[in-house]
Amino acid sequence: MNNTDWKILIYLREERSINKVAKRLFMTQPSLTYRLSQMEKEIGCPLFIRTNKGVHFTDAGARLFSFAEKELQQYQDMKNYVTHEPNSISGVLRIGASQSFSQSHGPALLKGFVDEYSDIEISLTTDTSDRLVKLVKKEDIHLAIVRGNQEWPESDILLEDAPLYLISAKPIDFSTLAQQPSIRYRSDPSLDELRTRWWRQNFTKSPHFSLTVSDCNTCVEIVNHGLGHSLIPADMLPKCKPNVDRQMIYNSQKQPIYRPSHLIFKEAMLQSTPVRIFVDYVKKYFKIKDN
């Protein structure tokens, strides 16, 4: 097996589609299918499960994928070392980011990184923070930027504390807020708990939920169009229209309520050059000083 085979496995894990992988590698679909069958013949056991919903790995295929990723990165690290060209470092970097973080910081952060390290191929997964933690644990992604204080036993870097804001299509009036439509976006349990605690501290009636949407950006757009109120982190405020009313929210001790962002990863992942470089880049982007 060679480096092309390793790439096939990595791309297949991302795409779950033979057709999409073939296009990424500039191969024909029959030639890729033949190569997959040759892998199974060479290894001596089934590696792939083909279904109507795509291609999945068997247990043996999953173990081979883990080996393939390390082999490909070692080869690319060797090339980087031999050529002594630090800005031409290559490799595959699988990043996870919470939906709201991706929508606020993601474009600028990734553009700056890609401009500097254009040979590193990035795969970005956006999801709720609690699900991203699980993906990092399973090593389906190398690292993740998550919101809230998630339970994570290994490397955890606080990037920023974003205060939460109440935004409303109408001027905010706490005496009538409980009767106005509330817009929620799907997130992790820690944000749900925070929102519920704040509401109970300020209102006796339950919120009047009129709509639940998939992400924070859609939520902001709904508020922009005059359909209710919601709680969002401060870094999403630039997506609000100027006429949208906004107020920072406070806890019972009159302190701002923050929604922190953390960069989490397994320490062993730093053995990968792209991971190590990305961690350093994110720390520089957020002006995080080493202890």
191: nearest Cα among 169, 162, 171? 162
The predicted model scores a pTM of 0.72
In the chain, the amino acid numbered 62 is A
Q: Does the pLDDT at position 91 exceed 70?
A: yes
Q: What is the chain's alpha carbon radius of gyration, rounded to the nearest angstrom?
A: 23
DSSP 98-155: EHHHHHHTHHHHHHHHHHH-TTEEEEEEEE-HHHHHHHHHTTSSSEEEEES----SSE
Which H/E stretch holds residue 213? strand 208-213
Task: Please check the confidence at residue 109 and state whether its pLDDT lies above 60.
Answer: yes
Q: What is the mean pLDDT of residues 250-275?
A: 92
Contact call for residues 125 and 94 (beta carbons, < 8 A) = yes
Give, for 201, the enclosing helix (H) or strand (E).
helix 189-202
Question: Helix 29-43 vs helix 59-83: angle between axes, to the nearest 10 degrees?
Answer: 100
| Mean pLDDT, all residues of the chain | 89
Report residue 250's pLDDT band, with 50, 70 and 90 as the boundaries: very high
Q: Sorting pLDDT into bands at 50, 70 and 90, what band is 84?
A: low
Task: Indicate the pairing of strand 208-213 with strand 258-265.
Answer: unpaired
Domain ranges of the chain: 1-81, 85-290
| Residues sharing a CB contact under 8 Å with residue 126, sequence separation 6 or more, in sequence order | 96, 97, 98, 99, 102, 215
pLDDT at 291: 64
Which one of 1.10.10.10, 3.40.50.1820, 3.40.190.10, 2.60.40.10 gives the CATH number of domain 1-81? 1.10.10.10
Task: Name the least confident of 66-75, 116-125, 155-164, 187-196.
Answer: 66-75
Per-residue pLDDT, 152:
94
- Residues 242-265 have a mean pLDDT of 94
CATH topology of domain 85-290: D-Maltodextrin-Binding Protein; domain 2 (3.40.190)
Encode pLDDT of 23-49 as tens digits.
Answer: 888 889 999 999 999 999 999 999 999
